[in-house]
Each structure stands twice: as structure tokens, then as C-alpha cells.
């Protein structure tokens, strides 16, 4: 039996069939995990953000409400600005356990299933990718167009604001099917964190009417837009404030002001005592400058690799530029990570490629 449209709050017609399809997969998967005494790992992408963490942790809580053991396979430590979510008990760090590859056990349970949110390939999961690839069959929920494979176990919806919004739709249908309240206050806060992150606090063009409806329902379940916005956007440490200002002051402009570029060497993080999130706000601020169509920021990570963040205003496709350097994402927001090259040299290469596209 299908879900009656009128029984599910304000669904977009395009989402309903896919949400129901994936909901039934997750219900079935939760039952099998519980029966076998196994645990599922949910994989976000590396360089974690509010959406991949929010969707993964929200989905883990949904699966736990259905009786399954579920954890989020983190490719790195949780950023400090997400600690307010209170999700430490959901996080699992397989790369930090030398024996995991040979004895894959999660909190005393055999590792029995691998799911992905906000990404679809092990290559985008950092050191966790090899553990995702241990399984041939996955359930995947993503809003990036990067995945080539399409099958009944994958839901890719590029039009959606975020993976968190899609996972919320799935959770609503699970409630409709099972009669179990799977979206508690903590799950609602996680989904809200993802939606707020990827819509830029509901200011980006990916904010649709159904996105606002979803946020309203999550508020009714106990999520606070104020808390999420403050912690993910406004709260800042002194060192991060200083490095953000320094990165903005060194911005250079090209193509008659259409391209804005800045790069942040590792030494600056040490000089100001800033953490990895210290420049997260810079590239969006650069994009908002009058006349700028493409904003580019390159920064050196702790392991020596270089992370590139791209943002565009109207017509430039950031995902096409990111793809040239092994990355991906959305048309208006993308990123990539490169190793084995200097910061200045990479900046020249990315700028050259961008100038050909602008």
C-alpha cells in the first residue's frame, strides 16, 4: 500500500514516491540489523559540514528509534561548532581503531551495513572510504549530482536544499508507515542544522517552499533555528575572528572584478591560534562583494593537503571547476582537496582554469 499524499504533511509531489521507497528500505534494513544483532555505519563526506553531519546523525537516531544499532562513521573529529548538537554517542571513528579493518566491530556488534548521506562514493569519505567500500550494497541519500549509478537503493535529488531535508522526508514517511515517532528533539535539531547550513540560513536559491515547511515541522519537534544559526554561523573564537579578517584583507580580484581569490597558508592558523573552521565564512563573504561572480579560497590543511572552496553568484558552475581538480558539489557551491602541490602553484592553476570558464 502506498502513502496517502494527504496524510503526509506538505510533501512535494516529486519527493513523495522516492521518500516512500527509501523509507521502506530503511525500515527493512533496521529490522534485519536488529534480528542479526549487527550495527550500521552511516558515512558522511570528508571535510564535514552541518549537512553531512546533521543528516547522518539524524538518520542514525531514526534507525535507533526503529530498534537498530546505528552510528556515524566520522572521517575526522567533530568540529567544535557542532558540539552543541550533543551527538558524541552517535559518532564512531573506524580510522582510529587499527584492528577495525580485520575485525570490523562497532560497539561490540558486527559491522553489518553501510549507508551514505550527502555523498555517494567512498573516494569522498577520506580515511573512512575503504570501510564503506567493504560492502557492495548501500543505501544512499544525496543531493549532489556526482553519482553515476542509479538503482532502487539510491535517492539523489539535486533540486533538494540538503541531504538533511531528504532524510527528514524519509523519516516522516517512516512515521506514517510504522506509527513510531522517530523524529525526536535531537533528530529534529540535527536535520535543522543540515538545512540551515546548506541554505545559508534560508537565503540561498535552493530554499524552496517545502524547505520552509520542513523547517517549520522540525521547529514543532523541538529544533531551534536560533541555536543552530548562532552556533554554526555567528559564534566565533578570537583566533578565528582574526584569521577570517586576514584572509579577507588579502583577497585579490581578476577578470574585471568577476573573480575573487584568497589563500590561507598553514602558518596563519598557527599565528592566530585559529582552528580549521576559522575561515569557513570567508568564501561566502567574498562572493557577496559587488561585481564578483566567482569566489575562490585555498587553504592548507594540517596534513599538508590543500582544500579549495568555490562559491558563485548566478551563472558560473562551480562543480565543473571543482571536477577539474578531483572535487565536486553544486553549481553554486563546490570544493576539492589536492595533495602534492604548493599553495601558490595550485592557486595559479585554479585561476587559469576559472578564467577560461568565466
pLDDT, position 330? 85
Sole residue written with cell 565536486: 328
Q: What is the mean pLDDT of residues 105-133?
A: 95
Q: Are residues 215 and 241 in the same domain?
A: no
pLDDT category at 2 given cuts 50, 70, 90 is very low
pLDDT tens-digit map of 125-145: 999 999 999 998 999 999 987
Instruction: Report how far residue 333's alpha carbon sits from residue 340's, in angstroms, rounded to the nearest whole number.
Output: 24
Q: Are residues 274 and 338 in the same domain?
A: yes
pLDDT category at 317 given cuts 50, 70, 90 is very high
pLDDT tens-digit map of 43-75: 999 989 999 999 999 999 999 999 999 999 999
Last residue of a domain, one of 214, 232, 250: 232
CATH number at residue 296: 3.10.310.30
Q: Is the pLDDT of residue 8 over 70?
A: no
Q: Are residues 48 and 174 in the same domain?
A: yes
The vertex-172 CA angle with 40 and 72, nearest 5°, equals 25
pLDDT, position 328? 87
Q: Give the 3-state secondary structure of residue 336.
A: strand
pLDDT, position 1? 40
Q: Could you tell me the pTM of the whole model?
A: 0.85
Q: Are residues 106 and 242 in the same domain?
A: no
DSSP state of 150: -
CATH number at residue 12: 3.90.1640.10
Q: Are residues 64 and 168 in the same domain?
A: yes
pLDDT, position 149? 59
Q: Are residues 244 and 321 in the same domain?
A: yes
pLDDT category at 99 given cuts 50, 70, 90 is very high
pLDDT category at 238 given cuts 50, 70, 90 is very high
Total tally of structural domains belonging to the chain? 2
Q: Is the pLDDT of residue 278 over 80?
A: yes
Q: Are residues 26 and 145 in the same domain?
A: yes
Q: Is the pLDDT of residue 157 over 50?
A: yes
Instruction: Report how far residue 63's alpha carbon sits from residue 71's, in angstroms, rounded to the nearest whole number.
Output: 9
Q: Is the pLDDT of residue 243 over 90?
A: yes
- Which pairs with CB-CB distance under 8 Å and at least 24 residues apart come from 183-186? 183/58, 183/62, 183/218, 183/221, 184/61, 184/65, 184/221, 184/222, 185/221, 185/222, 185/223, 186/61, 186/85, 186/86, 186/87
Q: What is the mean pLDDT of residues 84-101?
A: 95
Q: Note down the domain range covering 291.
A: 237-357
Q: Are residues 272 and 219 in the same domain?
A: no
Q: Are residues 161 and 187 in the same domain?
A: yes
pLDDT, position 45? 95
Q: What is the mean pLDDT of residues 265-293?
A: 94
pLDDT tens-digit map of 167-222: 999 999 999 999 999 999 999 999 999 999 999 999 988 999 999 999 999 999 99
pLDDT, position 7? 45
Q: Are residues 255 and 227 in the same domain?
A: no
Task: Give me 184's grid cell.
Answer: 525526536
Instruction: Report how far residue 249's alpha carbon sits from residue 357's, in angstroms, rounded to the nearest whole number.
Output: 26
Q: Are residues 89 and 193 in the same domain?
A: yes
Closest CA to 79 of 71, 70, 91: 91
Q: Are residues 296 and 255 in the same domain?
A: yes
Amino acid at each position: 500500500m502506498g502513502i496517502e499524499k494527504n496524510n503526509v504533511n506538505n510533501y512535494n509531489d516529486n519527493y513523495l514516491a522516492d521518500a516512500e521507497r527509501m523509507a521502506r528500505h530503511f525500515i527493512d534494513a533496521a529490522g534485519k540489523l536488529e534480528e542479526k544483532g549487527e550495527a550500521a555505519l552511516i558515512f558522511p563526506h570528508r571535510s564535514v559540514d552541518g549537512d553531512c553531519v546533521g543528516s547522518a546523525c539524524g538518520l542514525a537516531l531514526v534507525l535507533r528509534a526503529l530498534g537498530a544499532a546505528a552510528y556515524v562513521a566520522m572521517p575526522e573529529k567533530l568540529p567544535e561548532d557542532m558540539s552543541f548538537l550533543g551527538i558524541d554517542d552517535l559518532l564512531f571513528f573506524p580510522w582510529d581503531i587499527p584492528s577495525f579493518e580485520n575485525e570490523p566491530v562497532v560497539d561490540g556488534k558486527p559491522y553489518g551495513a553501510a549507508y551514505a548521506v550527502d555523498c555517494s562514493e567512498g573516494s569522498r569519505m577520506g580515511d573512512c572510504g575503504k570501510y564503506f567500500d567493504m560492502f557492495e550494497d548501500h543505501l544512499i541519500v544525496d543531493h549532489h549530482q556526482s553519482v553515476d549509478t542509479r538503482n532502487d537503493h539510491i535517492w539523489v535529488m539535486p533540486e533538494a536544499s540538503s541531504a538533511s531535508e531528504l532524510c527528514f522526508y524519509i523519516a516522516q514517511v517512516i512515521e506514517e508507515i510504522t506509527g513510531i515517532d522517530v523524529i525526536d528533539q535531537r533528530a529534529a535539531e540535527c536535520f535543522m542544522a543540515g538545512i540551515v547550513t546548506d541554505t545559508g540560513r534560508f537565503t540561498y536559491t535552493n530554499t524552496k517552499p517545502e524547505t520552509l515547511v520542513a523547517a517549520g515541522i522540525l521547529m514543532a519537534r523541538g529544533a531551534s533555528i536560533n541555536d543552530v544559526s548562532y552556533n554554526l554561523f555567528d559564534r566565533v573564537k578570537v583566533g578565528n575572528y582574526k584569521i577570517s579578517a586576514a584572509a579577507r584583507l588579502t583577497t585579490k580580484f581578476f577578470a574585471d572584478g568577476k573573480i575573487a581569490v584568497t589563500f590561507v597558508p598553514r602558518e596563519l592558523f598557527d599565528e592566530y591560534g585559529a582552528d580549521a573552521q576559522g575561515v569557513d565564512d570567508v568564501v561566502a563573504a567574498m562572493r557577496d562583494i559587488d561585481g564578483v561572480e566567482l569566489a575562490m579560497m585555498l587553504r592548507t590543511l594540517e596534513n599538508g593537503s590543500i582544500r579549495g572552496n568555490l562559491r558563485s553568484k548566478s551563472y558560473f558552475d562551480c562543480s565543473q571547476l571543482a571536477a577539474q581538480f578531483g572535487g565536486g558539489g553544486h553549481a553554486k557551491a563546490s570544493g576539492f582537496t589536492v595533495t602534492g602541490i604548493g599553495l601558490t602553484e595550485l592557486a595559479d592553476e585554479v585561476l587559469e582554469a576559472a578564467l577560461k570558464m568565466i
